[in-house]
Chains A and B, each alone.
Chain A
């Protein structure tokens, strides 16, 4: 069975640009969460979606947005990139919002 898949795995952007990160959950999982992990720190919660509805939002600026599609895949969008947005962006899926999280390998974003 395929795990959580994320794309792209690595990308480089410049300040001010926009980025879209994609996530496909494990088959049957209806909840997707996004986390940002800066080097040397623990993951920080950005968003959670369940059944296409936003269920939670972390302390991130409005430049960060996300959505979940009818097939439960998800996109994370970040506008007006800053150097500080450089991080590993992790997607996690679960059967339901309070169930165990299964993480993908992440998308490593570098902003120059």
Chain B
């Protein structure tokens, strides 16, 4: 089967750093993406890792280890507006297309 595991919820305070982990088990692998979704609105693309290592985009960083089937999203200098659901998603190469397999999502609550 194909599955992605991530914590269901995380709580942190403003200004802190939080890490959201994701482990995956898929028949094909063509990169790990992260999306943010506020209150059931449109998921917004945050980051993509096609190769092992760290990708940094402002306050957000994402890491991938293909040998461990593991990645994480790191959010620094947390702000109240970062409270949202965060999804990791794997592109299933076997489909030769844009099919993304999403995790269940991690609900991040940022407290003052």
Do A48 and B98 touch (CB < 8 A)? yes
Given contacts A42-B89, A42-B105, are A105 and B42 in contact (CB under 8 A)? Answer: yes
Do A103 and B44 touch (CB < 8 A)? yes
Query: Shortest CB–CB separation between residue A97 and chain B, in angstroms?
Result: 4
Do B98 and A99 touch (CB < 8 A)? yes
Q: Complex formed: what's the CA distance from A104 to B42 in Å? A: 5
Chain A residues within an 8 Å CB radius of B41:
105-106
Among A75-112, those with CB < 8 Å from B are: 88, 90, 94, 96-106, 108
Smallest CB gap from A47: residue in B: B99
Q: Complex formed: what's the CA distance from A97 to B92 in Å? A: 12
Chain B residues within an 8 Å CB radius of A44:
102
Do B99 and A56 touch (CB < 8 A)? yes
Query: Shortest CB–CB separation between residue B26 and chain A, in angstroms?
Result: 12
Given contacts A101-B100, A106-B42, are A42 and B95 in contact (CB under 8 A)? Answer: no
Chain A residues within an 8 Å CB radius of B97:
48, 50, 55-56, 97-98
Which residues of B pack against A, CB within 8 Å? Answer: 4, 30, 33, 35, 40-45, 48, 87, 89, 91, 95-105
20 A-B pairs whose Cβ atoms sit less than 8 Å apart in the complex: A4-B42, A33-B99, A40-B104, A40-B105, A44-B102, A45-B99, A45-B101, A48-B97, A56-B98, A90-B43, A97-B96, A98-B97, A98-B98, A100-B45, A101-B45, A102-B45, A103-B42, A105-B42, A106-B40, A108-B40
